[in-house]
Amino acid sequence: MKKEFSLLLILFFLILSFVISKCKSPVNNESYAEPDTIDIFEYNKELGRGINLGNALEAPSEGDWGVTIREEYFSIIKKAGFDNVRIPIRWSAHTSVDSPYTINHNFINRVDQVLYQALNNDLKVIINVHHYNEIMENPDEEKAKLYSIWRQLSSHYQDFSVELSFEILNEPNDQLTPELWNVYLSDLVEIIRNKNSMRPLIIGTASWGGLSSLSDLDLPEDNRLILTLHYYEPFQFTHQGAEWVDGSDEWLGTIWRNKAAEVQSIVSDFITIDQWAAANNIPVFIGEFGAYSRADSTSRHLWTERIREEAESRNFSWAYWEFCSGFGAYDDQAGQWRNFLLNALIPE
């Protein structure tokens, strides 16, 4: 009798473990099936409206910059009406010093936990390589490490649902010139495609990921790419009082009131993006846009609404920068959305 009870108990826990894995894992859930092909324009449409979980996993260590990702964030984001979350990650701070630059086991497990929470809330997820400052300063010396990071990530996530997309590198700049970035980009797409043939890949421009280097970007031959651009214009408005920008206190008081001249500058930029994307047959994701909290709330609302409208009128997907820090649409201390921003992003 005791032996039979023990066997039943073991069987019970095996079944329970199987059920839990089915419910929690984006690898094994019923919604996942490796597709034969992907319509990348349709995928980008479904990517829709999103928000960045900034100042968390791209800090030197999570929590250093005041944000630790909590599970309830994803249900809050989903219930507000967002479709995607972009999760910036500083992988370069969590590898071994020497080749093969192995990613720390505990760190990648933490990232996995965050991904499970997002995917289980029916959100599309974008992960990237963020704040890899060393490769911007010394690309030749850091190239092997960046390539190793993507070999590891490509292998680790190869069986995850395509609801997870990869953004290859955030805002190449400095010594990682447009010409050099084109070479690295082509190599990295090939590395990732070795084990992720169908996964959407998001690629940006050099010179800080903005419009200025769009014409310098050479697209690899691949029909599952999405172009990303970051938009913070006019910079003296969006970054007034930003502590990390030299001289930004002089810009305090800069307003934005949706006047014709202000709007025309933005429209012109978005027309340029749209025309380039159409000529190159690639969909567009505005991966970052936002105005810092030291701008007045009326200006922030009007500017944010305008950027969202210009993006959506051209079928661009987007992700606001960011959830609950200096640009934050959500007040984490009060436990509520800043309605003047949420209404600009998700109109009623």
Q: How far is CA 334 from CA 15, 162, 226, 329, 338, in A?
A: 41, 35, 36, 12, 10
The letter for the amino acid at 127 is I
3-class secondary structure, 288: strand
The letter for the amino acid at 273 is I
Helix boundaries (H) for the chain: 2-24, 40-47, 72-80, 105-119, 133-137, 139-156, 178-193, 206-209, 235-238, 260-279, 297-313, 339-345
Q: Give me the active site residues, please.
A: 171, 288
* CB of 110 closer than 8 Å to CB of 77: no
CA angle 150, 92, 130 (to 5 degrees): 80
* CB of 91 closer than 8 Å to CB of 135: no
* CB of 50 closer than 8 Å to CB of 82: yes
* Those residues with Cβ within 8 angstroms of residue 210's Cβ, 6 or more apart along the chain or in another chain: 229, 230, 231, 232
Cα separation, 171 vs 50, whole angstroms: 19
The letter for the amino acid at 280 is N
The letter for the amino acid at 86 is R
Cα separation, 326 vs 331, whole angstroms: 10
DSSP 220: P
